[in-house]
Structure 1
Amino acid sequence: MNINPSVLPPELPCPVDDGAAAHLEGASAPDLVLAATDGSTVNLSTLHGSCVIYVYPRTGQPGVPLPDGWDAIPGARGCTPQSCSFRDHHGELAALGARVFGLSAQSSDYQREARDRLRLPFELLSDSALALKTALHLPTFNAAGMELYKRLTLVVEEGVIRKVFYPVFPPDRSAEDVLEWLRMHRGQG
């Protein structure tokens, strides 16, 4: 069966808020340097202004089967539609002064293929060592022998996490939810 990773199937299980991200709002972004898909590195603690960091399990590739049972894991499916939503709303986010980064445990090479194929106008950050999990106690899950991040979105302003979206569902609405919060937060809603 050929599965298109850009399309969400109907009746995906909705993730529940298990409280695993409740401690994040108000926390400082850690002094953590991650590789970006453009070959640079990004230190999360030194990001200035407003940044949106959407954390996702893993992007799929056309023609490559998803891990067994992937669609049955609440919140697992939807990384490509989520990335595309941030691509499609990138101009609006930039107009509000927000930089965008995607972040997963995948390698920069794997992410670079996705960035180029999906024509993302922002960089993806690789955290293959799950260092952000350790630094911020981010929630993860295991699938097909891989430890992967649960989907969440952070709005970081001047090094402080101001807003956490968790769980994120449906993932293809993620950028719209962030835009709505940013507009309300800035009195533009």
Structure 2
Amino acid sequence: MYGGEGNDTLNGGDGDDILAGGAGNDILRGGAGNDTYLFNRGDGQDTLRGDYHTTPETNILQFGAGITADQVTVKRSGSDNLLLTLAGSTDRILVERFFSGDNWNPLQQVQFADGTLWLADDLLSYLDDGIPLPAADTGSDSAVPVSLMRQQISQFMAAADDADTLLMAPEQFTAPVLAAVQKTSFGY
């Protein structure tokens, strides 16, 4: 389904739909099924609106060529909505009820033309814990800064609760079992 130059409301059906609002401030509702929302620079201020569904869906926001992950700002809008804005323009996508749970969320993936993929969990981790969003693989093997690794490990450890503790004590072996393990491990 493709909208025109003005402000459109596009409603998908029960199947897998492709919705592109085009220029203007559009409301896109995919309905049931695995839907794809297309968004290009100049498309305006669109709203993705979800309906309650009981079966798992994989709905995708697909950015057009020339829109890269580093040009998109991600933030929470109100208590339930996700807002994606494009740098250097007034273009934006408001994802209603993104934080209301999977049965209402109209978006599970954000895809970029360069292959970058953001999952709903990536967006939640970024907004809730400050964990960086995935970026396109540029082919370089540059090292991740140690400070960033420490920060992510600290955040991970701080989020753990007592139910998540892992016992790190070494296993206790009797002398004959330990000797057999050493003999096998060291080849004598």
Fold shared, TM-score > 0.5 on shorter chain: no
Band the TM-score falls in, shorter-chain normalisation: under 0.3
Q: Which protein, 1 or 2, shows the higher relative CO under an 8 Å CA cutoff with sep ≥ 6? A: 1
> Higher helix proportion, which one?
1
User: TM-score, length-normalised on structure 1?
Assistant: 0.27
Instruction: Name the larger-Rg structure.
Output: 2
